[in-house]
Structure 1
Amino acid sequence: MAKSTPWKGNWIWGGSEQSPRNEWRWFRSSFVCPRDLEISAKAVLWITADSRYELYVNGTRVGRGPVRYYSTDIFYDGHEIGYLLRRGEVNTIAVQAMHFGVSNFAYLRGRGGLLAQLDAISGDQEITLAKTGADWKTFVHAGQDPAISRMSCQTAFAERIDGRQLAEDWTSTDYSDADWQQATVIGPVGMEPWVRLHPRDIPYLTEEPVLPTRVISLNRVVPYRLTAFIDAYHLMKTPGEENANQIRFCGAFATVLRLREEAEVKVVLHVGGLGIVRLGERLYTEEQLEGEPPLAHIRAQLPAGDHLLLYTVYGPEHGHSNRVGVDADQEIEWISPLEAEVGYGEPMSPFVRIGPSFTYTCIDYVDQYELFSSWETEKIRFADRISSLSSIDDLRESGYPLESVPHGLANGEDSFMPQFAKRESEAYSVPANLQRIAVASTDPGVVPLFDDGDTEFMLDFGKEWSGFLEFELEAEAGVTVDWYGIEYRKDTYVQHTFGLDNTLRYVTREGIQRYASPVRRGLRYLIVTVRGANKPVLVRDVRLVQSNYPAPEIGVFQCSDDRLGRVWDLSKHTTKLCMEDTFVDCPAYEQTFWVGDSRNEALVNYYTFGGTDIVERCLRLVPGSEFQTPLYGDQVPSAWTSVIPNWTFFWIVACREYAEHTGNRSFAAEMLPPILSTLRQYLTLLNSDDLLDMKGWNLLDWAPIDQPDDGIVTHQNVMLKKALEEAVAIAEFAGTPERGKECAEFAVRMKSAINRHLWSDERKAYLDCIHPGGRRSSVFSMQTQVMALLADVAEGERYATLNAYLTATPEGFVPIGSPFMSFFYYETLMKNGNVQWMLDDIRDNYGFMLDNDATTCWEMYGHTTMNRANENDLTRSHCHAWSAAPGYFLGAYVLGVRPAAPGWAKVVIEPSNGDLRWAKGTVPLPLSGCIDVAWEAEKGEISSLVVTAPEHTELDIRVPAACTVNIRRVKQLPESG
């Protein structure tokens, strides 16, 4: 909904900082609604905020937003709230605005700001009832602790809430905001950084409460005595938070451990880029640490007194926090080595920072090999100097910058490390009164207490979900309740979300209390730990409010093999969870719109949900990254300037597929200029042999293929050739074929060059790459052969040879090893009608997921990539939409429903049965309606087919001559405005 009336409100904020770190701020305004305002009047509250908002009217939560945006082009929402207005009475608008203050993979740092305006239209009368200005009141959310760790480098912050500081009724009209500050007007609409405002371009996301199904474990636990996080990225980076680029540096952190008695001390370090560690008099190299990262640890018997704990850290670092845990069999505390120098200003942590002595920001497409070499040299020099520092005095005299770390960037209010840094964990059976948490009952669940430990229990939500945690408790004041979401467990094994602080720490006030988190989380299991309680805590409600793009679940697939049907369900549910305000790679770890992933996600979505505006929104966002790189970003809108060339090429493919899927020729015409613009940039990187020869993140797949960051990568060259041809098709579809002439010419030249320079007559295959200097790769992979087939590079005998490899991988070739790569593999199989091989591959690879209790598709297969040191460590992300290929291929090729004309005006029905006896299902159409197909097979052939389709959809049915065909037609309603 676009705003048709002028903006009258101004941007407002509060406090003295333009862009405070992790600040949640409340805003309120009250007004009298005219008594004569008609009940039927349309009242729209227009709103946006940097970074996110939650909106309430008269105590009722109306919505949240905005959708992700570039700072210069922010989106606004329009909420119809007429039904909430009280005519002739005081009404209150309340907003919780959450400003990140740091850039991430879905947000580029701007400044704190809120803009809102309530317009009412009654008949011909139009009035503004409220607008943001100096009359609004504001207050920093007193119960939210900003001094908490990042959830991950891709997202914002974890959450710590003190219920004792919450005013539950702050959104109501009756609440008194007399002691709040006046909001500060920071500028009019059009001010920087929000130069342009755009109406929200997709519907509001769903909010569907999901309850846990059971309590599956109960444990008495004792955490380490000391745990803390350290934001090394912020502390070692220069300049500030305007970007989220990776950094490499040479630095160290230190603290002093104070013992009153001799004790055995154990230190766990969950640190990326860890170097040497000093504990007291002893120096440990990385090889001398016990255990494997991310749980490397050291232990030592230490006498009473003060002991230096120091570790070096180098990166590469993207924004994950370091974590340190210390345990001892006697009382222990940590103090700052600069304790005497800490003044009365900003509160300080017990840690000091040493350095950095060297730091630089890595941008993938820039030549930084000289910097990298300097960093490697400095690492050695820095380690040599730091290794000699064994005391506090040595630290002071080291000559390196030495500063206390502020409490906001390092402290013990960390609820993540205590989840795995445990001194004791003892299992108990789950009592019936605790199991009540998973039952919709008026009787609360009762959390038992232990005299000598905390109480930990685990909730199972039945399958993976993505949304917002809500709970209601009854407790005494001051009890700490930690909530921690995970995706996978097996028996007593818990796969911790290393790289993702998926926690919420809540400190209770006295009595019954409810809290609804505004932070999105993905999880299946929820580990709840109650700490410091003197009497049982009563849990009255726990739920996850599932939130995703509101696509109706139109798509259906069933067949005679229930295993395949279950795999299709996995694919559908995975795609649903990865459809937010854009497609995202996963609902837990990153929640990032990865451009290349979304091409495959879009195709699965077409067959499971039929959503189109989310696809168009994603495609239109990509060229907005041009201010960072003319090659376009691989994840957008993001503050990490990163390029994966194939992701840009997949985006071009997706633009053509979307334009033809919807029949939208104007979209093709609008997207053609940015497509041609970036392709021209890539063409400047061709060498004299007409091959793409570039430095960059030359990625296709997580597999041991030869895809160096510099050189001529074969799969990248064939995809550029294909992208050029896709641009030609888009130009033709847009009605301007002459604009694709240059691309057509280069595509022909590149095809010839690829076949001339990248084919091996000896191995009868395309080599993976040519390294700088001309060294030809000795690696041959199925990934490269698949992409060559997909891009129609191979012809004649070469085509036949490669096609045979699809079902008989040559010895020594790197095999297909990931669900993402399988998508392209299945595409090549289907070009030749090899449905049986695809079905068997799905049964094998995805069946392994089913056998391991999967409810969504994994990022990797597991049986091909598992950590051999831990057979339970099957994949990182257990919900990854780039892996949902069966959701597309089973509908498109087993049901056999595929478009044969733009906008699906004509549809091919060409079912493939393989070894299946029957299949049936539904495929959504892009504009309205759907196609239902049901077929049966006898003696290996389709014997009967029933098709239900809209009356104006032309059908091209391709079945054996003996097949009985029954076509049913349904009428279509006229399109509404």
Structure 2
Amino acid sequence: MFEIPWTAKWVWGGIEESPRNEWRCFRKTFDMTANATVTEAELRISADSRYVAYVNGVRVGRGPVRSWPAEQFYDTHRIGHLLKPGGLNTIAVLVMHFGVSNFYYVRGLGGLLAEVTVDDKTLAATDDSWRTEKVAAQLTSSPRLSGQQAFSEVYDARRWDEGWRELEFDDSTWSLARELGPVGSGPWKALVPRDIPFLTEEKLYPSRIESLQRVIPPAWTATIDLRYAMCPSSADHANKVNYIGYLATVLVMPEAGKVTLGFPNGARNEQLWIDGQLVQDWYGASRERFFDVHLDAGEHFIQMDISWRDHGHPFHIAADAKIPFSFRCPMGDRETPFILMGPFDETVEIDTQVTRGVNVNDRDFIRSAGAKSMLELEWIQDQIRPLSASFYTEHDVFGANVWRPVAELYSIPQQLERCLLATPEYAEIPRFTDCDTEIVIDFGKQRSGFHGFEIEAPEGTIIDFYGIEYMKAGFRQHTYALDNTFRYISRGGRQSYESPVRRGLRYAVLTVRGATGPVKLFETYVIQSTYPVVDAGSFQCSDPLLNDIWEISRHTTRLCMEDTFVDCPAYEQTFWVGDSRNEALINYYIFGALDIVKRCLRLVPGSKDLSPLYLDQVPSGWTSVIPNWTFFWMIACLEYVEHTGDRAFATEMWPSIRYTLEHYLQHINKDGLLEIRGWNLLDWAPIDQPDNGVVTHQNLFLVKALRQAGELAMVAGIPSRDIVEFEQVASLLAKAIQDKLWDEDRKAYIDCIHEDGRRSNIYSMQTQVVALLCDVAQSDQKEQLERYLVDPPASFVQIGSPFMAFFYYEALEATGRESFMLEDIRRNFGGMIQQGATTCWELYPNTHENKADPLLLTRSHCHAWSAGPAYFLGRSVLGVKRDAFGWKKVRIEPVPCGLRWARGAVPLPDGGAIEVEWQLEENEMLLRVSAPEDVELDIRLPEGITGRITTVTTKRLPSFELCG
């Protein structure tokens, strides 16, 4: 259909251009009296930062997809079926503006752009005639979800009319919108149509009630956003901020007694003074710190060192006592009970630049410690200010869930299970005198999306929601790096609420607080929202454990496919560039989705204005570079072209690849090696990979990236004279690696050469695996490294994460050692299954990152960089491998590895699939292969195996245009 030029203007409301965590509603009623019928109607819409749109009260969609501000994506929704010809219609939009940069958003301005066209005529377009109002129910000072994400919510339904979406709503008291400018103005320089399908909206119900408890929270809890309170300018970026300073308050005790002060997410430096005395007797786990103090009646000055390397995670503090107490501001009657002292020094970290640390020996900082009162701090009064209410809330759902002074377990009444079913029945939630009621709801497996419920409750009843990923035998793995919560305050009566904030979890902890009468729960659910895929790929075999591992890999990959690949649906929801290379390959074998891969690859060069080396997560306000992640992006570009046969994409991407390669080559040192400051990461294991120096695995991957960039350039038709430089550099770099980084005595590559010239004395399996994959090792060295694959020296650092295992499996497969790969998969991923996993974990249990807390099995329990088994089982056990550009030729060579049978399918980029089924008895295999007629097959029985091969060809439908 012809694209109608935009007449809409960007609009906003209120005074602030980019307010912090503001939800704002917009409405427009338009007349369709002249329209007796509707043939075609569309809503084109975009917003900064996210929107939920309704037509005549019906939700039509959410968006937009993440984007760089200079290329703002917009959505087009077909709405003809929702319009009422011959009368009035209303479009209503909720816009959630973050007001801070994070790992998936770069701060812009609050804004909405929307336009309704009916039969090619514009009937409603955002301008200063639209009505707007800030959502009074949403608390703008609600906690950050995490440093990577935006905000949780505290929603007081008493303060808002949910009828605002309906046609009949009277918006005459709302303000008129403020025009910001036409398309192309503000930070949104260009509008780009959405390049992927809309995500799914699947309403899913829980599977069971896990537990019922009587609970009492601490008497007082609070959450503070110290990063932005201390360093307000950090709202414009997501880089780590280092600062030194103090937080102080006055504890008022009407009578003498004991008070417990707690920090449900850690106490930072554990430097805390009461009346000038340093607190010594801390207790609790590393992430939950407490101390008890006996105080006389009166006022007590509390000062705490809050110096930190802060990425934006909220700071939680709580207190409990059996006697009354309160906190007040040391500066008198203010918005909050706290003051800030400092920052006495602060710095911003940018990985690609050398930055100094904060001066912890700052004279004012040191002299200010341990004050007994404000009188002792008069000499730095210009460094002291009250904590703004913008960064403070006492609605701390996370703290009240982590620290529960009273928690008593009860048996679960059968009637409580009724709320799990899609029926009109309700469950009345048990109530306890002077206590709260907590129920833990199990959704059966990990989920990602938008959570909601329907209740009937007295006005003022609080419903707290806390999402966690893992529970076992009463143990809860708290999400210390994620405030995965929201609070809903009832307006009274029967009502529904659906959070517009995306969350990932398996268990929902619902706590009913302050109910003065019966609370009825009619339903609770999740709207699962993922990239729309079908299970085009499949795998089953004679080993049930491998089947389970394939299934959790599939489910993990799906949950981590949103508007881009994301690392995890809970903690970060971030598109990590390097992770997505492996995730794309896994997806090819499970779902066969293409648009999401192309979109991810195209987003990466948008970071060039922040770093010519390209960022490791995009679009993002964190200026962080992992060189390997950029190299993986280059490799993934070629793999996409080879997978799809899309030569035009090679032509499109080549200039961006060349651009960043040229900048990387500026970091080749006098020895011919890449020496660069950055986050020089490959694996979480303790390999020697300093942030500055020559890192071996990085040099090796650069060799591969240079070679594969040359291959992509050839596909794009780039003249050889324009790429010969990269081929020459790859050869010289490979030689320099041999000369400088191979240790002949140890028969292995060292991990690195440090900035001061010191050669590493650490040898790792990671480095040896990469040397094999990048085809740098010479023949005798290669034989040695291949032996290490199956018999790694005990002194070498071992593979430390499922992500690194992907490369290890690539090396095992390439050298014909698939049986060792399956053994490793069974051992490590089988361990996850044994612990009740329904998705793949970010780390193996109790790796070096987790040893400080033996109960912490992993951080994220759903992490797509770990889903590699689904790819390798299809490639190796089924034996399906692309053998030509665009899968025009396919090689089938199963590797039984002791299995008796296997069957499955691998989707093809042009549609259809390769289906394989084999059975093995003794040394005879029955192998059946089905494939489209235009795919050339090269079918090979395993070495030493005889048998019969049956092939079936399927016809393809002629090209046709989809209706609608």
Q: What range is the shorter-chain TM-score in?
A: over 0.9
| CA deviation string 1:711-751 (max 9, x = no partner) | 10000100111110110110111122513211110000000
For residues 518-563 of structure 1, give each alpha carbon's deviation from its aligned partner in whole angstroms, at most 9, with x where no partner exists: 1000000000111101222100010000000001111110000010
CA contact (8 A) 1:250 1:356 kept: yes
1:387 Cα shift?
Answer: 2.6
Q: Secondary structure at the match of 1:375?
A: coil
Establish whether residue 9 from structure 1 lines up as the match of residue 2 from structure 2. Answer: no
1:214 aligns with 2:220: no
Distance, in Å, in 1 between the alignment partners of 2:319 and 2:252 is: 11
* Corresponding residue to 1:322 among 315, 322, 329: 315
SS of 1:793's equivalent in the other structure is coil
Deviation at 1:452, TM superposition (A): 2.9
Cα distance 1:966–1:773, how it changes in 2: closer, same or farther (>3 A)?
Answer: same
Alignment match of 1:676 (pick from 634, 655, 658): 658
Q: Is the 8 A contact 2:13 2:177 kept in 1?
A: yes
**Which segment is superposed worse, 513-522 or 897-906?**
897-906
Query: Could you tell me whether the CA contact under 8 Å between 1:472 and 1:541 is conserved in 2?
Result: yes
Residue in structure 1 matched with residue 158 of structure 2 by the alignment: 164
Work out which of the residue numbers 271, 280, 289 in structure 2 matches 1:276. Answer: 271
Query: One-letter code of the match for 1:706?
Result: D
Contact 1:272 1:315 in 2 (8 A): no
The 5-angstrom pairing of residues 754-833 of structure 1 reads 754-833=737-816
Asked if the contact 1:645–1:698 (Cα under 8 Å) also holds between the matched residues in 2, the reply is: yes
| Cα separation, 1, equivalents of 2:246 and 2:795 | 44
Match of 1:338 in 2: 331
Match of 2:879 in 1: 896
Tell me, in whole angstroms, the C-alpha distance in 2 between the residues paired with 1:508 and 1:558.
Answer: 48
One-letter amino acid of the structure 2 residue matched with residue 446 of structure 1 = E
Is the alpha carbon distance of 1:413 and 1:649 closer, same or farther for their aligned partners in structure 2, counting shifts above 3 Å?
same
- Partner letter of residue 140 of structure 1? K
Structure 1 counterpart of 2:294: 301
Q: Secondary structure at the match of 1:316?
A: strand
Amino acid at match of 1:336: C
Match of 2:339 in 1: 352
Q: Which amino acid aligns with 1:228?
A: A
| Cα distance in 2 for residues equivalent to 1:691 and 1:976 | 53
From the superposition, tell whether residues 615 and 523 of structure 1 become closer, same or farther in structure 2 (CA, over 3 Å). same
User: Contact 1:728–1:737 at 8 Å: present in 2 too?
Assistant: no
Contact 1:72/1:192 (CA < 8 Å) preserved in 2?
no
- 1:376 CA displacement: 4.3
CA distance in 1: counterparts of 2:2 and 2:276, whole angstroms: 68
SS at match of 2:697: helix
**Which of 622, 625, 644 pairs up with 2:607?**
625
Contact 1:758 1:769 in 2 (8 A): yes
Alignment of 1:394-413 (within 5 A): 394-399=376-381, 401-413=383-395
Q: Superposed, which structure 2 residues align to 1:835-914 within 5 Å?
A: 835-865=818-848, 867-868=850-851, 870-914=853-897
Q: Which moved more, 1:65-74 or 1:232-241?
A: 232-241
Whole-Å separation in 1 of the counterparts to 2:30 and 2:483: 41
**What displacement does 1:397 show?**
3.9
Partners of 1:706 and 1:383 in 2: how far apart? 35
Amino acid at match of 2:238: A
Matched, 1:362 2:345: no
Specify the alignment match of 2:552 in structure 1: 570
1:650 aligns with 2:629: no
Residues 245 and 365, structure 2, Cα contact 8 Å, conserved in 1: no
Measured in 2, the distance between the counterparts of 1:896 and 1:325 equals: 57
Q: 2:67 aligns with which of 69, 87, 91?
A: 69
TM-score normalised by the chain length of structure 2: 0.98
Q: CA deviation at 1:393?
A: 1.9
Counterpart code for 1:246: K
Deviations 1:8-62 (A, max 9, x none): 11111111111111111111111112454544x1111100000011110011000
Secondary structure, counterpart of 1:91 in structure 2: strand
Contact 2:286/2:853 (<8 A) preserved: no
The aligned residue for residue 678 of structure 2 is 696
Name the CA shift for 1:725/1:866 in 2 (closer, same or farther; >3 Å).
closer
Indicate if the aligned counterparts of 1:205 and 1:581 stay in contact, CA closer than 8 A.
Answer: yes
1:740 matched to 2:730: no
- Please list, as runs of the form range in 1=range in 2, the aligned pairs for 1:460-539 lying within 5 A after superposition: 460-539=442-521
> Any stretches of 5+ residues in structure 1 without a counterpart?
343-347
Partner of 1:559: 541
Q: Name the % identity.
A: 49
Q: Deviation digits for residues 748-779 of structure 1, max 9, x if unmatched?
A: 00000000000111111000001112111010
Partner AA of 1:465 in structure 2 = R
Map of 1:47 onto structure 2: 45
Match of 1:119 in 2: 117
Residue 204 in structure 1 maps to residue 198 in structure 2:
yes
One-letter code of the match for 1:700?
L
Amino acid at match of 2:953: R
Unaligned runs of 5+ in 2: none
Question: Is the Cα–Cα contact under 8 Å of residues 865 and 875 in structure 1 kept in the other structure?
Answer: no
Residue aligned with 2:806, SS: helix
Corresponding position of 2:17: 18
The Cα of 1:441 is off from its aligned counterpart by 2.8
Distance 1:868 1:11, change over 3 A: closer
Give yes or no for contact 2:250–2:302 (8 Å, CA) kept in 1.
Answer: yes
Supply the distance in 2 between the matched residues of 1:469 and 1:648 (Cα, whole angstroms).
35
**Match for residue 141 of structure 1?**
135
C-alpha deviation, 1:974, in angstroms = 1.8
Secondary structure in structure 2 of the residue aligned to 1:667: helix
Q: Which whole-Å CA distance do the structure 2 matches of 1:445 and 1:61 have between them?
A: 28
SS state of the match for residue 804, structure 2?
helix
Structure 1 residue 394: deviation in Å? 2.0
Question: 2:684 touches 2:849 (CA, 8 Å); kept in 1?
Answer: no
What is the letter of the counterpart of residue 908 of structure 1?
Answer: R
In structure 2, do the counterparts of structure 1 residues 631 and 206 end up closer, same or farther at CA, with 3 Å as the change threshold?
Answer: same
CA contact (8 A) 1:222 1:425 kept: yes
Amino acid at match of 1:733: V
1:370-403 Cα deviation digits (max 9, x unpaired): x22x53443xx56632333122322344456111
- Deviation track 1:116-147 (CA, whole Å, cap 9, x = no partner) reads 111122xxxx3111111111111111211111
Query: How many residues in Structure 1 have an aligned counterpart in Structure 2?
Result: 957
Question: Would you say the 8 A contact 2:844–2:858 is kept in 1?
Answer: yes
Per the alignment, in what secondary structure is the counterpart of residue 16 of structure 1?
A: coil
Any conservation in 1 of the 2:234–2:241 contact (CA below 8 Å)?
no
Q: Deviations for 1:684-709, whole angstroms, at most 9, x for unmatched residues?
A: 00001110111111111101100011
Judge conservation of contact 2:459–2:490 (CA < 8 Å) in 1.
yes
Report if aligned partners of 2:303, 2:370 keep a CA contact under 8 Å in 1: no
2:592 is equivalent to residue 597 of structure 1: no
Q: Please give the alpha-carbon distance, in whole angstroms, between the structure 2 residues aligned to 1:366 and 1:658.
A: 32
CA contact (8 A) 1:351 1:410 kept: no
| Preserved CA contact (<8 Å) 1:26 1:94 | yes
Distance across 2 between alignment mates of 1:474 and 1:244? 41
Give the corresponding residue for 1:665: 647
- Evaluate the alpha carbon distance shift between residue 697 and residue 337 of structure 1 in structure 2; reply closer, same or farther with a 3 A threshold: same
Aligned amino acid, residue 397 of structure 2 = S
Contact 1:248 1:316 in 2 (8 A): yes
- The range that moved more, 750-759 or 440-449, is 440-449
Secondary structure (helix, strand or coil) at the match of 2:729 reads helix
Shift of 1:870: 4.6
Q: Distance in 2 between matches of 1:644 and 1:28?
A: 44
Deviation at 1:867? Answer: 4.0
Evaluate the alpha carbon distance shift between residue 614 and residue 942 of structure 1 in structure 2; reply closer, same or farther with a 3 A threshold: farther
Q: TM-score, with normalisation over the residues of structure 1?
A: 0.96
Match of 1:345 in 2: none
